[in-house]
Amino acid sequence: MTTIRLDNPQDTVAPTRGDSSWYTHDRFGMFIHWGLYSLGARHEWMRSREFLSNEQYETYFKRFDPDLYDPGLWAQLASDAGMKYMVATAKHHEGFCLWDSQLTEYKATRTPAGRDVLRPMLDAFRERGLRTGLYYSLLDWHHPHYTVDVKHPQRYDAEFAAQSRERDWHRYVDYLHGQTKELLTGYGPIDLMFFDFSIPAEEGFAGKGKDEWQSERLVETIRSPRPDILLNDRLQIPGDITTPEQYQPREWIQVNGRRVVWEACHTFSGSWGYYRDEESWKSVDTLVKMLIDTVAKGGNLLLNVGPNGRGEIDERAVDRLKGIGAWMRLHSRSIYGCTAAPESLYCPPDCRYTFHPEKKRLYIHLFSWPFKHLHLYGFAGLAEYAQLLNDASEIRMLEGEREMTMEAGAFNEGRKAGTLTLQLPVKKPAACVPVIELFLK
Ligand code: GLC
Element at 52 (helix H, strand E) = none
Share of the chain above pLDDT 70, in %: 98
How far does residue 196's CA lie from ligand 1's centre (Å)? 7
When pLDDT is averaged across residues 257-286 and rounded to a whole number, the result is 98
**Is the model's pLDDT at 140 over the cut of 80?**
yes
**Is the model's pLDDT at 1 over the cut of 70?**
no
> What pTM did the predictor assign?
0.97
When pLDDT is averaged across residues 314-326 and rounded to a whole number, the result is 98
When pLDDT is averaged across residues 55-62 and rounded to a whole number, the result is 98
| Residues 263, 319 within the same domain | yes
Q: Is residue 4 part of a domain?
A: no
What is the Cα–Cα distance from 55 to 75, expressed in whole angstroms?
34
Q: What is the pLDDT of residue 306?
A: 98
Name the closest-CA residue to atom 5, ligand 1.
196
What is the Cα–Cα distance from 12 to 253, expressed in whole angstroms?
12
| Residues 327, 363 within the same domain | no
What is the Cα–Cα distance from 37 to 49, expressed in whole angstroms?
12
Residue 197, preceding bond cis, omega within 30 degrees? Answer: yes
Q: Is residue 342 part of a domain?
A: no
What is the Cα–Cα distance from 159 to 141, expressed in whole angstroms?
16
DSSP state of 245: B
> 409 Cβ partners below 8 Å, 6+ apart?
none
- State which of 92, 135, 137, 196 you would mutate to test the pocket of ligand 1, scoring each by most atoms of that ligand within 8 A of its C-beta: 196
Name the closest-CA residue to atom 3, ligand 1.
272
Give the chain's end-to-end CA distance (angstroms, integer).
13
Tell me which residue range forms the domain holding 192.
Answer: 9-334
Is 272 close to ligand 1, i.e. is its CB under 6 Å away?
yes
Name the closest-CA residue to atom 1, ligand 1.
196
Specify the ligand 1 atom closest to the Cα of 245: 12
Dihedral over Cα of 94, 98, 101, 106: its sign:
positive
**Is the model's pLDDT at 215 over the cut of 90?**
yes
Using alpha carbons, select from 400, 425, 424 the residue that is nearest to residue 414. 400
| Residues 23, 94 within the same domain | yes
| Residues 283, 330 within the same domain | yes
When pLDDT is averaged across residues 81-92 and rounded to a whole number, the result is 98
Q: Is residue 151 part of a domain?
A: yes
Q: What is the pLDDT of residue 411?
A: 64
Q: Is residue 402 part of a domain?
A: yes
Using alpha carbons, select from 86, 87, 80 the residue that is nearest to residue 323. 80
The string of pLDDT tens digits covering residues 177-209 is 999 999 999 999 999 999 999 999 999 999 999
Averaged confidence pLDDT in the chain: 96
Q: What is the pLDDT of residue 5?
A: 77
Q: What is the pLDDT of residue 407?
A: 75
Q: What is the pLDDT of residue 26?
A: 98
Q: What is the pLDDT of residue 400?
A: 84
Number of domain units in the chain? 2
Is 197 close to ligand 1, i.e. is its CB under 6 Å away?
yes
| Residues 44, 13 within the same domain | yes
**Is the model's pLDDT at 410 over the cut of 70?**
no
- Predicted confidence band of residue 230 (pLDDT cuts 50, 70, 90): very high
- Predicted confidence band of residue 403 (pLDDT cuts 50, 70, 90): confident
- Predicted confidence band of residue 3 (pLDDT cuts 50, 70, 90): low
Domain boundary among 305, 334, 363: 334
Q: Is residue 121 part of a domain?
A: yes
The string of pLDDT tens digits covering residues 148-162 is 999 999 999 999 999
Is 274 in contact with 306 (CB distance < 8 Å)? yes
| Residues 273, 377 within the same domain | no
What is the Cα–Cα distance from 213 to 120, expressed in whole angstroms?
29
When pLDDT is averaged across residues 386-407 and rounded to a whole number, the result is 92
Is 23 close to ligand 1, i.e. is its CB under 6 Å away?
no
Q: Is residue 100 part of a domain?
A: yes
What is the Cα–Cα distance from 392 to 386, expressed in whole angstroms?
9
Specify the ligand 1 atom closest to the Cα of 234: 7
| Residues 207, 262 within the same domain | yes
The string of pLDDT tens digits covering residues 334-350 is 999 999 999 999 999 99
When pLDDT is averaged across residues 359-376 and rounded to a whole number, the result is 97
What is the Cα–Cα distance from 53 to 129, expressed in whole angstroms?
41
Q: Is residue 307 part of a domain?
A: yes
**Is the model's pLDDT at 139 over the cut of 60?**
yes
Burial 295-320 (b: 16+ CB within 10 A, else e): bbbbbbbbbbbbbbbebbbeeebeeb
When pLDDT is averaged across residues 384-390 and rounded to a whole number, the result is 98
How far does residue 4's CA lie from ligand 1's centre (Å)? 42
Is 245 close to ligand 1, i.e. is its CB under 6 Å away?
yes
Q: Is residue 125 part of a domain?
A: yes
| Residues 325, 427 within the same domain | no
| Residues 91, 228 within the same domain | yes
| Residues 58, 151 within the same domain | yes
Higher-confidence position of 414 and 435: 435
